[in-house]
Chains A and B, each alone.
Chain A
């Protein structure tokens, strides 16, 4: 009971700080926070799919499609900016669902490589539709969302991140957790225990793709442009993966912690050494994976469990 009250106070505290952030933080810190929240969303969504045992490299692909659907909807068809984000989600969902039937029979490295290849296919397709997408020249958005009001954009990104975290926690606390962990541990046992493996993989694949598409749409609305190089940039794949790995995979909080830590580290490195900061960043990621293979959260959690067990004895 005491624990629960503490948790509620902590959640309410963090939430009020996060919501009121634009009122007392400077523009710079707010922009760093938005980048962190964006990567956090991608990291958590990537981890959600990983929990089924399927390693997806499709983040950047769905992110890019979301970007382009949103920008094309607004500038070519005059759709409302906010509506365009929902449109991006729906569009990505349809594509992911169609792909699910084609590629969710693949496993392991074959699935991973296929999702990476699809990202390239998406990027080339967008490049070759110049009338609609502006081709390799990209596309600029003239009427940005909320007329460029940073506070509102921040709240939009915060909502997206919170929604993703909440969904991830729901999946961790319900039967979904048992289904997808069983599939990851041993698919043969999962099937013989009555788990519809394909259904769970499809649901997870479509939902996480939608989240990544929405992230792309919001990113494009925030910055007001989309180029094939940026929208399908592998940064949107590598950074979230590194964050999930550093924080600790197979858990919501791992990805959350990882994205805050690495997000701040990346920003600091960029300030102190504008060139070559990514090398240091890469070394940090490698060191953490080598010495804390369970990630920050995973290591803390197992330490905590052993001390608790020790205390009981």
Chain B
């Protein structure tokens, strides 16, 4: 049984069909890449699955249970976690406290336990300046907060929405090895990414979206040769 499955998932904003009849099957412990040109509907798809917005049509099954009508906080407590493309730190808190929030509410831990978990997550992320207020942190630190908050919620499946954007190549490699570590710890990972090197390095399988539709699916090396994909997306790079 796939850990997450969407059936005919569709989201319309007025006349625009942002996500159009998407059928996805995500297997446990795989790393799935979602690629596609700007405006293809990748972030909308993640927002539908995480519950930030509700679908116009279609179903989302998580561990065999339909969740498309559940509010976002309940889905996050079930183990669905996401990061945001533009980092969204909580202004009031330190880095550590930001991460604690995920442990406290999504994972339902006590204050003391949540502080321990958040520290463990910080260790894993090699996030040293965790006790500083977020206005004193760097972009990489804020990215770590974004991932840390999701990790502290003890997810079964983690959606990473362009976490590499804005990182230099050293930092990108750090992030890649981190994501591999996470997969080995048993978390299913879905990454949305524009950097093809990252997709090639990390993913077991990719799904290509264009204008809200899935136009190709498979391992990266094959999909990247698909003429439909090349014309929609990779063609621009050649």
Contact = CB atoms under 8 A, between A and B. Distances in A.
Contacts, number: 72
B76 to A, nearest CB: 4
A178 B96 CA distance: 12
Contact of B73 (A178, A185, A194): A194
Interface string B192-215: 000000000000000000000000
B106 to A, nearest CB: 3
Nearest to A174: B111
Contacts of B108: 194
A194 B106 CA distance: 4
A184 B107 contact: no
Interface in A241-269: none
A184 B149 CA distance: 17
Contacts of B82: 192
B19 interface: no
Interface centre among B50, B51, B88 (most CB of A within 10 A): B88
Interface string A100-120: 000000000000000000000
A196 B51 CA distance: 13
B158 to A, nearest CB: 12
A251 to B, nearest CB: 12
A312 interface: no
A19 B103 CA distance: 42
B60 to A, nearest CB: 15
A192 B50 contact: yes
Nearest to B134: A185
B149 A193 contact: yes
A119 to B, nearest CB: 29
Contacts of A186: 88, 90-91
A212 interface: no
B105 A179 contact: yes
B97 interface: yes
Interface string B86-118: 001011110001001110111110110000000
Contact of A194 (B77, B93, B100): B77
B84 interface: yes
Given A191-B52, A194-B73, A195-B73, A181 B88 contact: no
A148 B73 CA distance: 51
Nearest to B81: A192
Contacts of A190: 101
Interface of B: 50-52, 71-73, 76-77, 81-82, 84, 88, 90-93, 97, 100-102, 104-108, 110-111, 149, 153
Given A178-B101, A191-B51, A191-B72, 4 more contacts: A181-B90, A186-B90, A194-B106, A196-B73
17 contacts: A175-B104, A178-B101, A178-B105, A179-B105, A181-B90, A186-B90, A188-B84, A189-B88, A189-B149, A191-B71, A191-B76, A192-B82, A193-B106, A193-B149, A194-B102, A194-B106, A194-B153
